[in-house]
Structure 1
Amino acid sequence: MSGRTARGYGAALAVAALLLSAACSATPKDDTGAAPAAGRTIRPVDGCGTSSWTDPADLSADRAPARCAPHTPAAHPLSRTRKLTIATGTLSAEYVAPLEVALDKGEFKAEGLDVTLKVLPTPDALPLLAKGDIDALWAAPEAAVMNGIKGGFDIRWVAGNFSPDPKSKSGLWVRLKKGETAAGVKLAGRSLGTMIGKGSVIAYPMQKALAGHGGGLDRIQYRQLGSADVLTALRNGGVDSAWLLDPVWRKVDGEPGYAFLGGQPLGEPLGGMLYGRTLLRDDVDAGVALLRAYIRTVDTYFAADYKQNETFVTYLAKLLKTDESVLKSTPPLRMDWEIREGTTNRLQSAYATQGATEGSPVPENRVVDRAYYEEAVGHTPGP
């Protein structure tokens, strides 16, 4: 085992231990798997009609994401101000933009929420979420989350974040050998460069992309690299393939000798908002209010192709502290607060193949809680 790999496994074990410790001191979870926000009264919401909810079983790539009218659902301020801390791995990535816009435009404040966005890597944030030291995490249901839930802690994925635009080529790229074509690429035994190690949600789309090219998550050689090194390694032959994120893939798009093999499935968010004990058990009202502000922000500022609005792109680049030309160089994200049916099962299948999780998968009803966003938009779920 390499030093880098050993350190990765050591970090994963440390996170698991911290989660287990936090779970032991936390409020006991509901062993029935019942959604913590279930059973509350749901009322119709002005501006949120039939288009504000889509069937979770709809996995079609061209599914239109749920939307309410701009500036809806309207704010319903809480009786007293709640201070909430949301952890996120970065404040410069485009997928965090709805949270930063909601904060900057006063959407959280309108709900009676005093929100702080705190930059923390997911491995550091998970134990804090488990103990109630932070209230929410803007991340993804990665293998560490599944292992934490198995260990007894009540963490729920309560809202999605985005799915890619069909024009996006963020994903798996390969450097073609002489005479090789994209259709004929065989990746078994070849190396993959990625800045994200085993147990990340990209394992699922990577598994799909590899399956069509004679590979598999257990049949490739991983090379975990720094963000600045992934593209360099692909170009100089250090790795045979690489998972390239926005906007890095634009550097090889259209160049001879490189091929895009696939990315995140269209119409299927793989991350978003995770709640811990505070918003799941202690203060569900604040949990619903937080998603109401998030959804209203998406409906008002990110409903369609927000990059067509030059003024907004300039504003967004300044807010994210990123170069405006870089922001314009990639297609817009399809902001989507809903969670698809079966996503957590597909993720866990990939984690198990990588060896990042063991044992039976966690049932979806112990990972996902759609009741928060359903209440926010006034949708009453069927029996």
Structure 2
Amino acid sequence: MRVSDSAVARRAAFGAVLVAGSLLASMGCTSQDSGAGAGPAKPRTIKAVPGCDGASWTDPADLSADRSPARCSTGAPAPRPLAETRKLTIATGTLSAEYVAPLQVAVEKGEFKKEGLDVTLKVLPTPDALPLLAKGDIDAQWAAPEAAVINGVNGGFDIKWVAGNFSPDPKSKSGLWVRLKDGERASHVPMAGRKLGTMIGKGSVIAYPMNTSLKKHGGGLDKIQFQQLGSADVLTALRNGGVDSAWLLDPVWRKVDGDARYAFLGGQPAGEPLGGMLFGPNLLKDDVDAGVALLRAYIRTINTYFADDYKKDPAFTAMLARLLKTDRAVLESTPSLRMDWEIRSATTDRLQSAYRAAGVSEGAALPESRLVNRSLYAEAVGHRP
């Protein structure tokens, strides 16, 4: 990517090396969307986009589980190549998870190249990637507004959530499972005081649906004991009594589904993405055209390859298995994800509430405007507010 004067100045300002794991807010941030000391951003012209009609935008306040995700026609929005090729780096915690598939397919099918973008996907844990994103050493991050992100923004990082990723199929049972005691029924399982095993820490976005499910059963993140385990150990601990409950991911939950000794208490809310694309100042301010182009390619990839039940196509599923380096049978054992580029209203409010309940959030609660920017994907599909 071209290095602008402002990017050089910003990197110089980051002269002191930031410790990756300590993204706790120690000072208030007075900057607005346009940045501290900067004037308001110039309004961008939004033009109608062929193939993206009214169905390409849904009301962000619609949280209904049966909401149809936004969609354009296959191949839309059409590419609008930049005058000069931009080199962009997107950090992601993994390249093997199914929710990363749209990025993998966009690279494989040349969707980024059609926009004049030379995109590199780089595996980096979220704590390591955040400081790099904030100072412009990487351009985007495929992650989620986790506690570390919120705390980083509270501490001055110029980072925003600009596009969603997916919500689960209603048939999915990825989420909170409990081993039932004698006489217990799945309709009400007293969760207060129980031990929960998870490979995901309290600072993950999963804290939000986990807290919701626990509260329905007399628990809550502040009323249970957490035990963080490796991915291979979570199910084992649940089965041998090392933990009373566990957050089981795809396709692990298949191992206990249908077993009367276990009950599914809930998972990620249907119709509400909890992660996706994060932008730093490079694409939020220095080169917005490249930011919109990146989202346009991502949205086109969803509309072209992931619009419906993409696992119905054996050839496409085989390609996905190759790209994700996973067994095809494992990939086919769970329902297709509902890929969704939009961000729901107040999701970041609900996430922050969960982080506070888990004791991993510091500083003032941030308004959505400090954490979310929907204007770039709105421009990509031609939606005028």
Q: Equivalent residue for 2:214?
A: 210
Report the counterpart of residue 9 of structure 1 in structure 2: none
Aligned partners of 2:159 and 2:226: how far apart in 1?
29
1:151 aligned to 2:165? Answer: no
CA distance in 1, matches of 2:26, 2:323: 37
Give the equivalent residue in structure 2 for 1:335.
339
Aligned-partner Cα distance in 2 for 1:188–1:97: 37
SS in 2 for 1:42: coil
Amino acid at match of 2:45: T
CA 200–17 in structure 1, closer or farther in 2 if over 3 Å, else same: closer
Letter in 2 for 1:208: T
Inter-partner Cα distance in structure 2 for 1:91 and 1:343: 25
Q: Say whether residues 1:222 and 2:234 are aligned partners.
A: no
Residue 190 (structure 1) aligns with:
194
5+ residue gaps, structure 1, are: 1-11
Quote the residue 2:328 is aligned against: 324
Matching residue of 1:376: 380
Decide whether the 8 Å contact of 1:160 with 1:339 is kept in 2.
yes
- Which residue of structure 2 aligns with residue 30 of structure 1? 35
Alpha-carbon distance change, 59 to 17 in structure 1, aligned in 2, over 3 angstroms: closer
Is contact 2:191–2:214 with CA below 8 Å preserved after alignment? Answer: yes
Q: Does 1:160 align with 2:167?
A: no
Match of 2:258 in 1: 254
Instruction: Look up the match of 2:107.
Output: 103
1:15 to 18, 21, 29: 21
Structure 1 residue 19 displacement after superposition? 8.7
181-190 or 329-338, which deviates more: 181-190
Give the partner amino acid of 2:194. R
Corresponding residue to 1:58 among 54, 58, 62: 62
The alpha-carbon deviation at position 184 of structure 1 amounts to 2.4
1:88 aligns to 2:100 (yes or no): no
Aligned to 2:7: none
Question: Shift of the alpha carbon at 1:29?
Answer: 5.7
2:306 is aligned, of 286, 302, 307, to 302
Q: Stretches of 4+ moved more than 4 A in 1?
A: 17-21, 26-29, 31-36
User: Where does structure 2 lack aligned partners over 5 or more consecutive residues?
Assistant: 1-17
The one-letter amino acid paired with 1:223 is Q
The answer to whether the Cα contact below 8 Å between 2:178 and 2:244 also exists between their aligned partners in 1 is yes
8 Å CA contact 2:23–2:155 kept in 1: the answer is no
Structure 2 CA distance for aligned equivalents of residues 351 and 70 of structure 1: 38
Tell me how far 1:289 sits from its aligned partner: 0.1
Counterpart in the other structure of 2:182: 178
Cα distance in 1 for partners of 2:38, 2:275 equals 21
User: 1:374/1:258 Cα in 2 relative to 1: closer, same or farther (>3 Å)?
Assistant: same
User: Contact 2:23/2:151 (CA < 8 Å) preserved in 1?
Assistant: no
Q: 1:13 to 1:351 in 2, by over 3 A?
A: farther
* Identity across the alignment (%): 72
Q: C-alpha distance in 2, partners of 1:316/1:256?
A: 33
Report the 3-state secondary structure (helix = DSSP H, G, I; strand = E; otherwise coil) of the residue aligned with 2:308: coil
Bigger proportion of residues as helix: 1
SS state at 1:166 partner: coil
Residues 19, 126 of structure 1: 8 Å contact kept: no
CA 1:15–1:325: 2 relative to 1, 3 Å: same
Per the normalisation by structure 1, the TM-score is 0.92
For residue 319 of structure 1, report the CA deviation from its aligned partner. 1.2
Contact 2:164 2:277 in 1 (8 A): yes
Report what 2:273 is aligned to.
269
Q: CA offsets, 1:226-275, max 9 Å, x none?
A: 01000000000000000000000001101120000000000000000000
Report the equivalent of 1:5: none
SS at match of 2:21: helix
What is the rounded CA distance, in whole Å, between the counterparts of 1:20 and 1:106 in structure 2? 43
Amino acid at match of 2:60: P
Matched, 1:43 2:47: yes
Deviation at 1:15, TM superposition (A): 2.7
SS in 2 for 1:15: coil
CA distance in 2, matches of 1:374, 1:241: 41
Compared with structure 1, are the counterparts of its residues 17 and 330 closer, same or farther at alpha carbon in structure 2 (3 Å cutoff)? closer
Q: Is the 8 A contact 1:108 1:290 kept in 2?
A: yes
